[in-house]
A and B are shown apart, each in its own frame.
Chain A
Amino acid sequence: MPRRIVIGIRGIGHRVIDSVWRLGYAARFFSLILLKSGTSMRRFGLIIRELYFTGVLTMVIILVSGLFVGMVLGLQGYETLQKFGAETAVGTLVALSLVRELGPVVAGLLFASRAGSAITAEIGLMKATEQLEAMGMMAVDPIARVVAPRFWAGVISMPLLAAMFSAMGVFGGYLVAVVLIGVDEGSFWSQMQSVVDFRFDIVNGIIKTCVFGVAITAIAVFEGYNAPPTAEGVSGATTRTVVTSALVILGLDFVLTSFMFRGVG
């Protein structure tokens, strides 16, 4: 019996040390990316190639889901607001919830599952097939050549994608509320414009998306680079990327919101 307890305590200790070790390794890896991104900035073609894969190919899913999220918000907002005779405030509701919260968070979740998982699988497979080692042999730094361009492409495309998501969502809300249901168009836009503030709502939303972009792509490239070089290892790393990114996005969103929207509005 005491032996079993000792083993259990050892197991806990091992896990704690292991996760602290992983965190330190991830931090070192992150600073290494930043240090070596100068090289990849000089070869901007590499970043453009990755922008195509992370940005352009994610655009379709972002635009379609943005449209539907906005339409659902318009419909549900109208249902509740018309009970109080305030159905013209549906524009404000759609725009504020998209620009402040839903745009960054949902676009971030979609981006993590569409682009983040692809980045992890690609880098993990490169490692499993020893392409990264081969690059090292040829005196090409794999972090500067493979990891940094993917990181920067993700950081650049995330705010743009979230902005498209929010704009499309507002359009979807307009479509449902004004075109379909028949809320007055003038008050729909003017109430929205009088409440949504450029500095406090839109700029804060953009800051959020930039933070999410850095977090998602850092997790994705780290998991890929750190994946065990087997088929199982790569699949596990891909799953971990999506799960960890989703948790980090939601956690960071709470932290950022509590800093940004405290005591205003």
Chain B
Amino acid sequence: MQRAKMDLWVGLFVIAGIGALLILALQVGNLGTYSEDKSYTLVGNFENIGGLKIRSPVKSAGVVVGRVMDIQFSAKTFDAVVTMNIDDRYQFPKDTFASILTSGLLGAQYVGLAAGGDEGMLKSGDKIMKTNSALVLEEMIGQFLFDKASEDDEGDSDKF
């Protein structure tokens, strides 16, 4: 085979390979909406994070505004310290309420931010003061059974 023709084919091969990588990055992956460097961090202490994981989304009004970057257990306060990266475009008031919610019945868990009415905005590294833990199924069922049992007790005492 001629030299020039071989070079042409190799050139086409490399272009096709890099093109495939670009397709993977832009069409299949999320590089098109990738903006990690322009973000700030917020910290929240939760009593129970349930099934929250690193890289879980942080949503406000259903829109993804950031991601969970780190989850640690604090040995001082005995609760979970969740560090979140929030997109710079979105600023939240100081009295923002953070709660751990579930998408769908069996879906993944995420952090929901509900904006408050304060004038001042949260800055990078600030702590969210108002938090709400995840709902744990066992605790809910336990609570339900306990309520049911006490109701029955009241019912019994009415009879006598």
Chain A interface residues toward B at CB < 8 A:
48-49, 51-52, 55-56, 59, 95, 99, 157, 159-161, 163-164, 166-168, 170, 189, 192-194, 196-198, 200-202, 206, 263-265
A sample of 19 inter-chain contacts (CB < 8 A) reads A52-B9, A52-B13, A59-B13, A160-B16, A160-B18, A160-B21, A164-B17, A166-B28, A167-B20, A193-B27, A193-B28, A193-B30, A193-B33, A194-B30, A196-B29, A198-B25, A202-B28, A263-B54, A265-B53
Looking at chain B's contact residues, is the secondary structure mostly helix, strand, loop, or mixed? helix
Interface size class of B (residues with CB under 8 A): 20 to 34
CA distance A122 to B19 in the complex (A): 31
CB-CB contacts below 8 Å: B1-39 with A: 1, 6-7, 9-10, 12-14, 16-21, 23-25, 27-34
| A202 near B29: Cβ-Cβ < 8 Å | yes
Find chain A residues with CB under 8 A from B21 CB. Answer: 159-160, 163, 206
Closest A residue by C-beta to B12: A56
| A167 near B10: Cβ-Cβ < 8 Å | no
Given contact pairs A51-B10, A196-B28, A198-B31, A167 touches B23 in the complex (Cβ within 8 A): yes
CA distance A39 to B75 in the complex (A): 58
Find chain B residues with CB under 8 A from A99 CB. Answer: 24, 28-29
| B13 near A160: Cβ-Cβ < 8 Å | yes
CA distance A144 to B121 in the complex (A): 63
Most buried by A among B1, B19, B24, B28: B28
Q: List the 4 closest A-B pairs by CB distance, nearest first.
A: A160-B17, A167-B20, A163-B20, A164-B20
The yes or no answer to B130 lying at the interface (CB within 8 A) is no
The yes or no answer to B148 lying at the interface (CB within 8 A) is no
| B13 near A55: Cβ-Cβ < 8 Å | yes
Out of A157, A166, A198, name the residue touching B20 (CB < 8 Å).
A166
The yes or no answer to B55 lying at the interface (CB within 8 A) is yes
CA distance A189 to B23 in the complex (A): 12
CA distance A181 to B34 in the complex (A): 31
Given contact pairs A166-B24, A198-B25, A51 touches B13 in the complex (Cβ within 8 A): yes
A50 to chain B, nearest CB (A): 9
| B27 near A189: Cβ-Cβ < 8 Å | yes
Beyond known contacts A167-B23, A167-B24: 7 more, CB 8 A cutoff: A51-B14, A52-B10, A160-B21, A196-B29, A198-B30, A198-B34, A202-B28
CA distance A137 to B14 in the complex (A): 36
Find chain B residues with CB under 8 A from A194 CB. Answer: 30
| B9 near A56: Cβ-Cβ < 8 Å | yes
B71 to chain A, nearest CB (A): 10
B87 to chain A, nearest CB (A): 15
